[in-house]
Chain A
Amino acid sequence: MFLLKLIIRNAFRHKLRSILTVVGIAIAIIAFGLLSTLVGLWYHGVEASSASRLVTRNAISLVFPLPLSYKDRIRQVPGVKTVSYGNWFGGIYIDEKHFFANEAMEPKSFLELYPEFILTPEQKDAFLRDRKGCIVGKRLADTYGWKIGDLITLRGTIFPGQWEFVLRGIYRGAEKGTEERALFFHWDYLNETLKKTMPRRADQVGFYMIDVERPELAAEVSQAVDAIFKNSLAETLTETEKAFQLGFVAMTEAILVAIQIVSYVVIVIIMVVAANTMAMTARERIAEYATMKTLGFGGWHIAGIVFGESIVIALSGGLLGVALTFPAAQWIQVELAQFFPVFTIAPLTIALDILAALAVGVVAGIFPTWRGATIGIAEGLRRIG
């Protein structure tokens, strides 16, 4: 088709200008795609959590503990199936850069509560039998090359000292979103040690985890639990795991919103740059468009040529951007694994990338298209020489 041929040849007539525009759009699309993925990942942890799991914590703040004695009273609340408990340990492996989650949990009930952490029966038994034992996710084990039987030392921050654990199991996540970069060890080990070193802090748990019989009971059970400890020394706040995670997310919500805004700003900036380039290009070709009109071509033909060129350039940038997003994401997943264990580009993100590129093409093309379509022939021809 002739017009298409003309559009494509026009688009790459000024090679340097076109290439710079295409590369600019590609970079904007990469940034947009990666930032969207980043924001999506942040919420992903929330979505992976189960609706039938509840978390009970100190009503005042996450950092205040609850007495261990609450365990039995929670268990008696109708609708409660399993109760587990633990502490956020916050130990550091080698140095701060090697961050991963590590928690002291009551191991038996914990594994019941988290069926998505898959261990072989032998490893599970070995972990439960060894009070100094720990389990880690497969991705974490891969990162540091840990094998069963290895000794792992964490430097305590909340609980000072050097803590040694024997690796007894490496679990796999049942789903893609399951956290595979965490370490769990026996709460008893933490508690026994504290009894000797800091008796004041012993027999305190950071949070209880409750599994209810049916997800519908979640609201009822959490109210019942909080009612028990109302007016006690340590009042509780019970919420679904999802809400609990959202609480974490809420702290970073402002940052997430900022990142989201930046991702859109990037697109808007490239829109303006591309619009300027297209306007410049169209201005240079006004006499050509007028000549075509002289020959009998209509405003619609010219509009198609100008608009088509804008779309061709924007889409070229968009496709290049999408193509480069994958290696970029791969690079992030490998190099920044401790922050983004799974940095996968969702199909929706690709769709949004293409949509953003199209939007750039449309916005950049509108004004020159209108100019080209409506310019008077006599006026347009005067632009020559």
Chain B
Amino acid sequence: MGMGNGKPPIVEIAHLSKSYRRGSQTIPVLEDITFDIADGEFLALMGPSGSGKSTLLNLIAGIDKADEGTIRVGGVDITSLSERELAAWRAANVGFIFQFYNLMPVLTAFENVELPLLLTGLSRNERREHVELALQLVGLSDRVDHYPAQLSGGQQQRVAIARAVVSDPAILVADEPTGDLDRVSAGEILQLMDRLVREFDKTIIMVTHDPRAAEKARIIRHLEKGILTDSDGQPASPVAGS
């Protein structure tokens, strides 16, 4: 299918399963999922509502626990990490972009972007440099002192992207990043994400319903009833791009 970029995988998922218990019932969400994501890839994850896209994304990003299987990211098996180790790992390796931006309403754009850096040993001045750089990257240098409520949806999402990249993680995960935006703003956000892959070698995993958004990605994967398929509907081959 030739959709890979030829680089070694940064994410390796093997036999991943996850189910939820609702009372005495067990609802399987992901069933025996195995696939890789190459370093520097821009992958779109599509599928009907309730198919387990967010669940899969959360597992890869280390904010949820799998029942079975392993997830290696950059060579580290994150399923074996403790809660505390996982938190430190996330802070260093993953940037998050959410559908509803998830900015702190009481913090300015600057402070929101600064938030992840507070967990690093950076000095105040170093932090300011990083934050200003990140805000410049998303084109919001003139909005540093604005609160989220004073920004448009598209601007808020750009602040969120600045927050996601400010600590320079290798991977960005985005759950419906354009789901709450109009077409123009969505286009800008996708362009920005595309730039992050091209210019900054980020790996992006994006869950989306929007075919236009998926178009921007270089690989599209479909999730249906917990089973992963290629864009042509065939069961996914174990290694992306093979």
Which single member of B63, B88, B118, B163 contacts A377 (CB below 8 Å)?
B63
Contact present for B106 and A10 (CB under 8 Å): yes
**Chain B proximity mask over A336-371: 1 for CB below 8 Å, otherwise 0:** 000000000000000000000000000000000000
Residue on A nearest B91 in the bound complex, by CB: A296
Contact present for B100 and A294 (CB under 8 Å): no
What residues of chain B lie closer than 8 Å to A115, measured between beta carbons? none
What residues of chain B lie closer than 8 Å to A297, measured between beta carbons? 87, 119
Contact present for A381 and B98 (CB under 8 Å): yes
What residues of chain A lie closer than 8 Å to B58, measured between beta carbons? 377-378, 381
- Does B90 interact with chain A (Cβ within 8 Å)? yes
A246→B221 CA distance, assembly (Å): 86
Known contacts A291-B102, A296-B116: A6-B63 contact under CB 8 Å: no
- Does B105 interact with chain A (Cβ within 8 Å)? yes
- Does B84 interact with chain A (Cβ within 8 Å)? yes
A221→B115 CA distance, assembly (Å): 78
Which single member of B64, B87, B105, B118 contacts A13 (CB below 8 Å)?
B105
A385→B102 CA distance, assembly (Å): 10
Contact present for B90 and A295 (CB under 8 Å): yes
- Does B99 interact with chain A (Cβ within 8 Å)? yes
Contact present for B63 and A384 (CB under 8 Å): no
- The residue among B91, B106, B115 with the most chain A CB atoms within 10 A of its own CB is B106
Contact present for A295 and B63 (CB under 8 Å): no
What residues of chain B lie closer than 8 Å to A376, measured between beta carbons? 64
Contact present for A295 and B116 (CB under 8 Å): yes
Residue on B nearest A287 in the bound complex, by CB: B102
Q: Smallest Cβ distance from A374 to chain B, in angstroms? A: 11
What residues of chain A lie closer than 8 Å to B98, measured between beta carbons? 291, 381, 384
A292→B100 CA distance, assembly (Å): 14
- Does B110 interact with chain A (Cβ within 8 Å)? no
Q: Smallest Cβ distance from B162 to chain A, in angstroms? A: 13
- Does A9 interact with chain B (Cβ within 8 Å)? yes
Task: Say what secondary structure dominates the interface of chain A.
Answer: helix
Q: Smallest Cβ distance from A270 to chain B, in angstroms? A: 25
- Does B107 interact with chain A (Cβ within 8 Å)? yes
Interface size on A, residues (CB 8 A): 21
- Does B104 interact with chain A (Cβ within 8 Å)? yes
Chain B residues 80-107 with CB under 8 Å of chain A are 84, 87-88, 90-92, 96, 98-100, 102, 104-107
Contact present for A288 and B119 (CB under 8 Å): no
A295→B55 CA distance, assembly (Å): 18
- Does A144 interact with chain B (Cβ within 8 Å)? no
Contact present for B115 and A292 (CB under 8 Å): yes
Residue on A nearest B102 in the bound complex, by CB: A291
- The residue among A293, A297, A381 with the most chain B CB atoms within 10 A of its own CB is A381
Which single member of B102, B104, B119 contacts A296 (CB below 8 Å)?
B119
A34→B120 CA distance, assembly (Å): 50
What residues of chain A lie closer than 8 Å to B116, measured between beta carbons? 295-296
Residue on A nearest B94 in the bound complex, by CB: A294
Q: Which residues of A contact B (CB under 8 A)?
A: 2, 6, 9-10, 13, 287-288, 291-298, 376-378, 381, 384-385
| CB-based closest 7 A-B pairs | A296-B91, A9-B106, A377-B63, A378-B64, A291-B102, A295-B116, A378-B58
Excluding A292-B104, A296-B90, A384-B102, 14 further A-B contacts by CB distance (< 8 Å) are A2-B118, A13-B106, A291-B96, A295-B90, A295-B163, A296-B91, A296-B116, A296-B119, A297-B87, A297-B119, A377-B63, A378-B64, A381-B58, A381-B98
